[in-house]
Amino acid sequence: MAPAPHQVTAQPKPDKILQLDGISPESVEAHWGLYEAYVNKYNEVQQKLADADRGSANQIFSDYRGLREMLTFAIGGIKNHEIYFDNLGPGGGGPEGGLADQINASFGSTDAMITELKAAGMASRGWAWLAWDWDWQRLDVYLGDAQNTFPVWNASPVIALDVYEHSYIRDFSTARPKYIEAFVANLDWAAINARFGTIESLLGS
């Protein structure tokens, strides 16, 4: 007997993301609702996949193709947003320890990394990331134009910058540069350092 379809549960909404400077609680609440919608759709797609007809799978159109494609879109919508919201908070700070060392090794300075991330945010149609490449043992900045355009294999995101218009239209109209400045100013570096700490703990193991 096949196992039951995999299902996920939305994370609890952290209070810290409602305390940002320049990015309003109303905007964050609406954005969180989109994250929850991705969770619901993931669960729906997984259930429908269980009964989908494998024999009629077709590259032009088939129920199976649509479900498999949208599964990755929903997963991206979940994981990208979980990193994004975890990255934000009123705590401030900066990169420390191993993260500071790796940022300096890959970019020369934190300012240079932030400049690169901002440029990627302006150049992307969806997401920009700072990520650790496990194969080449280095950080770099990547962009993806949709929820399911993951940039490279075997890399772990450290910072996720959402540049879909729903991220900023309420607070900044179409002024994406102002939103990106606010995003950078509201980075919760304690959370980011902790995220890289998990990566660092696996290095060399």
**Interface region with Fe ion, contact rule CB under 5 A, candidates 2-10, 109-117, 127-135, 154-162:** 154-162
Which CB sits closer to Fe ion, 162 or 188? 162
CB of 190 to Fe ion, least distance (A): 22
**Interface region with Fe ion, contact rule CB under 5 A, candidates 13-21, 133-141, 156-164, 176-184:** 156-164
Residue of 14, 23, 18, 11 whose CA lies nearest to 167: 23
**Interface region with Fe ion, contact rule CB under 5 A, candidates 64-72, 110-118, 157-165, 184-192:** 157-165
CB of 35 to Fe ion, least distance (A): 7
CB of 31 to Fe ion, least distance (A): 6
Which CB sits closer to Fe ion, 78 or 199? 78
In sequence order, what are the residues at sequence separation of 6 or more whose Cβ sits closer than 8 angstroms to the Cβ of residue 151? 129, 131, 142, 143, 144
CB of 149 to Fe ion, least distance (A): 14
Number of residues that bind Fe ion (CB under 5 A): 2
Say if residues 43 and 118 touch (Cβ distance below 8 Å): no
**Which one-letter DSSP state was computed for residue 88?**
B
Q: What are 10's two structure tokens?
A: 């939305």
Quick check: 140 binds Fe ion (CB under 5 A)?
A: no
Residues 103, 119: Cα–Cα separation, whole Å: 16
Residues 179, 182: Cα–Cα separation, whole Å: 5
**In angstroms, how far apart are the furthest CA atoms of the chain?**
55
> Which listed residue (99, 120, 139, 162) binds Fe ion by CB under 5 A?
162
CA distances from residue 150 to 43, 75, 85 in whole angstroms, order as listed: 21, 11, 18
Contact residues: Fe ion, CB under 5 A: 162, 164
